[in-house]
Chain A
Amino acid sequence: DTEVTQTPKHLVMGMTNKKSLKCEQHMGHRAMYWYKQKAKKPPELMFVYSYEKLSINESVPSRFSPECPNSSLLNLHLHALQPEDSALYLCASSQEYEQFFGPGTRLTVL
């Protein structure tokens, strides 16, 4: 199994909702990542987990809360988001230099 899976594929939420994005990989990779990507822009790193511990937080607002329940799973909890948070949210994993990206969750905040 050489893929990263993400659910849901699409999500529409209001500014008062709470939702979660899920990511899973079964490649035994030690590092997992959350990225945010706006149209026509590069992926923008949000969080890095290494060996299930948060190692990088790129000064992301607290309305985004990551969680790594185990070495295969990564969640991103969303609460009180703003319309400008609408974007493609990508999960990735890596063992060394190559990052494997999931298909992403396209999030729309109304």
Chain B
Amino acid sequence: GQSLEQPSEVTAVEGAIVQINCTYQTSGFYGLSWYQQHDGGAPTFLSYNALDGLEETGRFSSFLSRSDSYGYLLLQELQMKDSASYFCAVGSTDSWGKLQFGAGTQVVVTP
């Protein structure tokens, strides 16, 4: 079976750094993705990690440790527009094409 855990909510002030952790138990794991979703909007792709290490894309970075079944999304220089839900999602060779989403982390950015 598959399971993912991520915190339900994180609150931080503008300009701060937030780390959203994601732990997973997935047979046939092949990659960890992150998606952002604003209220009323559609999920948008942020990053993908298939190998151990850090991937950086502007203010957002994502990390993966396959041996620890763990990853995180790092949001730097937080802006009000970063207030959204963030989902980690895993892909498995047990079911090609299917993404298993975590429950989501609501990030609230305050002035």
> Measuring CB to CB, which residues of chain A are less than 8 angstroms from any residue of chain B?
31, 33, 40-45, 48, 50, 55-56, 90, 94, 97-104
Contacts and interface: CB of A to CB of B under 8 A. Distances in A.
Contact of A48 (B42, B48, B87, B97): B97
Q: Is the interface of A mostly helix, strand, loop or mixed?
A: strand
Interface of B: 31, 33, 35, 41-45, 48, 50, 87, 91, 95-99, 101-104
A55 B42 contact: no
A47 B33 CA distance: 19
B48 A98 contact: yes
B95 A97 contact: no
B104 A42 contact: yes
A16 B93 CA distance: 39
Nearest to B30: A97
A32 to B, nearest CB: 10
Contacts of A104: 42
A55 B87 contact: no
Closest 5 pairs between A and B when the two form their complex, measured CB to CB: A42-B101, A101-B42, A98-B45, A48-B97, A101-B43
A94 B91 CA distance: 13
B43 A48 contact: no
A98 B32 CA distance: 11
B27 to A, nearest CB: 17
B42 A103 contact: yes
Contacts of A99: 33, 35, 43, 45, 99
Contacts of A45: 98-99
Contacts of A103: 41-42
Contacts of A41: 103-104
B8 to A, nearest CB: 10
Nearest to A100: B45
